[in-house]
Every structure is written in C-alpha cells, then in structure tokens.
Amino acid sequence: MGWDTALFLDLTIKSFALSWVMIPGVLLGLLVGAIPGFSAQNTLIILLPITLILPIDAALAFMVSLYCATHLSAGIPAILVNMPGTGGAAATTIDGYQMTLKGQGQQALVICFTSSTIGGLITCIATIALLPFLAQIGLYLRSVEMVAVMVLGLVLIAAIAADDILKGLIAGAFGLMLGSIGTDHIYGTPRAAFGFLELYDGLPLVPALIGLFAVSEALIMLEREMIVPKSAVAESKEARWTDTLDGVRMTVKYWWQITWTAFLGLFIGIVPGAGASIAAFVAYQQSRAFSKTPELYGTGFPPGVIAPESANNGVTAGTLVPLMAIGVPGGSTAAVMLVVLQYQGIILGPRLFIDSPHIAYGIFFSMAVSYILMMFTILPLARYMGQVVLIPTRILVPLILTLTVVGAFANREYVFDMGLALAFGVLGYIARKTNYHVTAILIGIILGPLFEQYLLRALRIGQGDLTILFSSVTANVLWGLVVLSILLPYLRPLLRRRPRAVAATSD
C-alpha cells in the first residue's frame, strides 16, 4: 500500500478524538507501571470484558495507551527508590538512582519521561512510514542472529564489573546459573527445580526482579532515616520548575542518543519474544561502549538513563509490528490485543493493510497520540514525584514491602512467588552488603535462558556445527559489534594517548 495522505489525516483526527478513552488508559498505565510486579498484560486481562464491548478502534486505543504508559512509568520507582517497575526499567536503576542520591531525582525523572516519550514517538512515526518493510525484519533476525544479540546484552556484565571484575563476573555467572532452572529445552526434563512444580517453567522473572531490587533495597533503607543522604536533602527539597526545564535541556542535548537507541528498541521489539528487558540492557551496553566518557556511566550520568528508557519505549511499536503484519504477537501484551482483535472478527496478516488499513495503521496513530498525551500529563508531575525521597524510611519501607509482595503474587497468583521474592530479597541484601552487583545477577537470569534457547535452536539447525553462528551477513555484523564492544574500552586509552604523544613530539 502506498502513502495515502487522506487516510493518514483521517486517522490522525480520529486518534485525537479517542482521547476520552486514551487519557484513562494513560493514567491507569502510569499507576500500574510504577508498582513493581504489576504489568500491562495482567491489567488488560482483568479489563478484558470492557475492551471486548468497546468499538474496536476505542478498545485498541485504550490498550495501546495503557501499554505505553506502563513502559514509561516503570522508570519512576527505578529512579526514586532503586526498584524497577518492570524488567525493562532494570537498566535505568544504574544511573537513575545515582542521580537521586545526588539530589537530582527531579531531573532524572524528567530525563526519563522526555526520552521515553520522544523515543516512543519517533519509533511510532517510523513504523507508520515503514510498516510493510519493518515487518520483514523479523524474518532476518533468526536464532543465529539472536544469539549475537543476547551476547551483546551479556557483555554488559563485564562493563558493570569494571571496578571489581572478579565479583562482577561471579554475580553474572550466578545469575546465569539461576537462569538455567526449569525444564530442559531439548529433553523437557526439569533442572534444579528441587521438586517445586512452580519452577518447571523456569525461574519467574517478576519475583526475582522484586526480590533483588525492591525487597533488598527496602532492607537497605531501614539502615538510614531517608533515601537520600543528608548532604542531598536540601537540594531535593528545593523542587523548582527550573529543575524540570534543566532535565529537558539535558535530554535534548543527547537527541542523537535518543534516536538511535529508540530504533534499536524498535528492531529488537519486532523479534517475537525478545522484549523490553533485552532492548534496555543492549542499549545501555552499546551506549556505554561507544561513549567518549564510559567511566561516567554508573555515577548518575544522563545518557545512562536516556539509553534504556528510549529503547524500552521503542519496543512498544516493535512488538505490534509482527502482530499486524503476520498475526504473531511480539509480546504478552500484544497477545491480549490479539484476543480482542480475533473476537471482533479481524483477520490479521498482509491482507489487513488492504482490507482494513484503518486498523493496521490506526493502532500506531493511537500510540503516537498517547505519547503526546503522556508528555503533557506526566512531565509537570516530576516536580512533585521527586518529593517521595523525602518521606522517612520508617513509613516508606512497610508500604514498599506490602506493594512488592502483592506484586509478586499478582503476576502468576502463586503464594510460592511471594516466598521466592522474599528469598531473593535476602539474597540481594547480602549481595549489596558484600559489593556484588545485583544488576549483573538479573542480567544472567533474564538473558541466560533466552541465550540457551536460541543457541540450542541454532545448533540443532546446523546439526551441531558451531560455524552456523557465522553463516549470515547480519549475524557477522552483530558479532563484529560484540568484539568491538569488548575491545573498545581497552583501545580507547591507546587512541587518546597517541595524539598526546604526537603533540609532545612536535613540541
């Protein structure tokens, strides 16, 4: 289908006319995403009866706005209290929480909101313009290419471990070991499940995420009166509109970073099963690897917030591309949307662009409008959200523990998951007190099973021949990025030293 100006103008007007259903979706999504353990998927399942009775365009607009707002608001607890709302916001904690400890929580929130909305908006517009072509990307990223993508994410473990390589690698290896819990991908036999049926599907991510970050951080908070140190209390109290503008200025300064990480998230999101967690970690790792100042990452550096948040929201458009183009949902939330579309009698696939272009493209127009609404809805609230860090921990900790334990239960509705979250909380507390990296553990838990799955699938296709991993141009380009990401930290000092030596010689 060519560029139909009249159709796109009509869809733009209709999308803004659906604001009556998108604003409640945005507000509900902001609330759901900010509570660790709750997700857009679970919320949409609960609200499924409502979405089934709404007209199809209104139902899609509501679901998309809630979905996008959930991705955006997951960064709020990640920045303020070091507790990511979803796995996609886990990488945001690395620099976002450090900014909060410096008294720059408001600026960090503004950076998060601005980069999320701009990144999401850019990828929505790109998807609308290139939808038929983007649908083909999923056909080129097969198991072989995905192995290289997973390795790109795993390389972040080494980057995090730069200060203490041994402890960082131990934490990463421990995470990979935990990620191997569950059913074997080849023979279907349980591994390290210890007889617990709840672990046969693998170690559940939500309880692990909640325990390692939320519960362990709550235990750490008990040791002090407030989240921020006393030296930063005065700066945190002075919430001003100029700080909001300062956060916007910081974000705009790195506009190119927002753009390329958003597209990275879009491409990863197109691959079914990849998801926001992988996109955020890969974006953070690549941003750090190719930065001129990689040593600033992890210290409260704005690009460390921009990269994962922009990629995280770039994924939202990507997961809907295979849904619209070939009828395969790119993620769990897209699967719920598939149910609604099928209930309404919509036949997905290439014919959709000819028979019902207003649905095929309309969902992305609604997504773009939802990001515009979010920008004006949430940006002014950053000034007041930043004040959360001034609440005494004796009040905040019981509230956090209650919400997080309920969140651990809400995902699968197993009491077992509540105990698992508490167990991971103790593990995370011990790791923090002994200077092991909980983020490295989480990377292993998230990427380990996916890496094993894609690797075994690729090896089965190649009948055990390892050269299958280098059998395509796309895969070889990705492997080149992996090698460059590993070598760049060692090459950069040499490259800087050479001009200095030349200058000294000329003098």
Q: Can you spell out the DSSP letters for 239-303? A: --HHHHHHHHHHHHHTHHHHHHHHHHHHHHHHSTT-HHHHHHHHHHHHHHHT-S-GGGTTSS-HH
Distance CA 44, CA 150 (A): 29
Res. 64 pLDDT band, cuts 50 70 90: very high
Q: What is the mean pLDDT of residues 414-420?
A: 90
Q: If you search the block for the tokens 């090698």, which residue do you land on?
A: 483
**More confident call, 345 vs 110:** 110
pLDDT of residue 306: 94
Res. 1 pLDDT band, cuts 50 70 90: very low
Inter-helix orientation angle 275-289/438-461, to 10°: 110
* Rounded-to-10 torsion of CA 228, 231, 236, 238: 160
Asked if 418 and 408 touch (Cβ cutoff 8 Å), the reply is: yes
Residue among 268, 218, 271, 206 nearest 446 (CA): 206
Residue 147, burial from CB neighbour count under 10 angstroms (0-12, 13-18, 19+): buried
pLDDT of residue 358: 84
Residue among 115, 469, 43, 41 nearest 275 (CA): 41
Residue among 426, 438, 484, 430 nearest 160 (CA): 438
Sign of the CA dihedral with 110 first, then 111, 114, and 117 last: negative
φ/ψ region of 37 (left if φ > 0, alpha if ψ in -120 to 50, else beta) reads left
Res. 489 pLDDT band, cuts 50 70 90: low
* Rounded-to-10 torsion of CA 159, 162, 163, 168: 70
Stretch (H or E) spanning 126: helix 105-134
Stretch (H or E) spanning 368: helix 362-378
pLDDT digits (tens, 9 = 90+) for 243-274: 788 888 888 889 999 999 999 999 888 877 66
pLDDT digits (tens, 9 = 90+) for 367-408: 999 999 988 888 888 877 877 777 888 888 888 888 888 888
Res. 239 pLDDT band, cuts 50 70 90: low
Res. 506 pLDDT band, cuts 50 70 90: low
Looking at every residue in the chain, the average pLDDT score rounds to: 83
Residue among 363, 310, 382, 379 nearest 121 (CA): 310
Distance CA 474, CA 140 (A): 8
Q: What is the mean pLDDT of residues 454-466?
A: 85
